[in-house]
């Protein structure tokens, strides 16, 4: 879990945080939340998830594990 979190934080910093100047903390929080929800979870393919997005992997998990 720690390696995953470190990888995510590194990606977030490289792809978003270090490329943006935020006028306020509120702007930073809003922008980072949008990045996670709209880019990272929906478009970015992950090798650890068999080149699926996190949302696709989560949906597959729910379909596989739903109660009968």
Query: Which residue has better confidence, 7 or 20?
Result: 20
pLDDT above 70: residue 51: yes
Residue range 9-32, pLDDT digits in tens: 888 899 889 999 999 999 999 999
Is pLDDT at 68 greater than 80 in this prediction? no
What local confidence, expressed as pLDDT, does residue 35 receive?
A: 87
Cα–Cα distance for residue pair 26/24, rounded to 1 Å: 5
- The CA distance from 49 to 59, in Å, is 12
Indicate the DSSP class of residue 52: B
């Amino acid at each position: 879990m720690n390696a995953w979190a470190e990888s995510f934080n590194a990606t977030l910093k490289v792809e978003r945080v270090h490329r943006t100047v935020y006028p306020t903390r509120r702007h930073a929080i809003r922008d980072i939340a949008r990045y996670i929800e709209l880019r990272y979870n929906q478009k970015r393919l992950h090798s650890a998830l068999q080149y699926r997005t996190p949302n696709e992997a989560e949906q597959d998990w729910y379909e596989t594990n739903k109660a009968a």
